[in-house]
A and B are shown apart, each in its own frame.
Chain A
Amino acid sequence: KQEVTQIPAALSVPEGENLVLNCSFTDSAIYNLQWFRQDPGKGLTSLLLIQSSQREQTSGRLNASLDKSSGRSTLYIAASQPGDSATYLCAVSSNYQLIWGAGTKLIIKP
């Protein structure tokens, strides 16, 4: 059964730093992997989607990588800003379902 783990559960860094969030999954038979952002009291916003045949995707200051063989993905955030503070979730798509990690709560200190 697919399991998705995100480490760390929480992270606090000063504004301007580059940072990496980690996501690991147990079954490499996935269709794609997605990174989402969740703000308090709000829904989920899709940030990046990496198909199983791809190695990485970029959007602005965000870069997500995927290594299926090792069951890992990273979300790199460059030049972090206070507005990046949120919970970041990764989810893998397999067998008609999205399997989710528990998220990393990110706080960017001004």
Chain B
Amino acid sequence: EAQVTQNPRYLITVTGKKLTVTCSQNMNHEYMSWYRQDPGLGLRQIYYSMNVEVTDKGDVPEGYKVSRKEKRNFPLILESPSPNQTSLYFCASKWSFDRDRGIVGNQPQHFGDGTRLSIL
């Protein structure tokens, strides 16, 4: 079954304790992305990756790191979490974002079920 898997689904932790949220997709997608969702603000992009070893900042990258060492995995790292990073996080993937410019390969993004992080 084609899917995007995030872990953990829920996490309560304390300020300053490094954490990693994993994201894995089994569809051989090139493009992967992390979003956070906050009430009244919709989803905002944190980082995205066009392919292995290619990552770029989204709209709200401060306080986050990512890596893309292999195609299927795109972990989100919070080196020193703070309470303002309490949020609902989504990982997403799609075949290729560049192909949005044409008709072929214009595919929607597939999303994980989300990770609810609470930083105390």
- Name A residues whose Cβ lies closer than 8 Å to a Cβ of B: 4, 31-32, 34, 41-46, 49, 51, 89, 91, 93, 96-98, 100-103
Bound CA span A102–B44, Å = 10
CA distance A102 to B42 in the complex (A): 4
Taking a contact as CB atoms closer than 8 A, the residue among A42, A98, A102 that contacts B109 in the complex is: A98
Q: How far is the CA of A45 from the CA of B35 in the complex (A)?
A: 15
Most interface-central of A42, A96, A103 (chain B CB within 10 A): A96
Given the complex, which residues of A lie within 8 Å of B103, measured CB to CB?
51
* Closest Cβ neighbor of A103 among chain B residues: B42
Query: For chain B residues 96-120, which have a beta carbon within 8 Å of chain A?
Result: 97, 100-101, 103, 106-114
Contact B42 A43, beta carbon cutoff 8 Å: no
Question: A100–B44 contact, CB under 8 A?
Answer: yes
Residues of A within 8 A of B114 (CB): 41-43
Tell which of B4, B44, B59, B101 touches A31, judged by Cβ atoms closer than 8 Å: B101
Are B100 and A100 interface neighbours, CB within 8 A?
no
A9 to B104, CA, bound (A): 34
A-B contact pairs, 15 of them (CB 8 A): A31-B100, A32-B100, A43-B112, A43-B113, A44-B90, A44-B92, A45-B111, A46-B108, A93-B100, A96-B50, A98-B33, A100-B35, A102-B40, A102-B42, A103-B42
Q: Which residues of B contact A42 (CB under 8 A)?
A: 113-114
Q: Which of A44, A51, A93, A102 contacts B41 (CB 8 A)?
A: A102
Q: Within the complex, what minimum Cβ distance (angstroms) separates A54 from chain B?
A: 10
Q: How far is the CA of A43 from the CA of B113 in the complex (A)?
A: 4
Complex Cα–Cα for A103 and B56 (A): 26
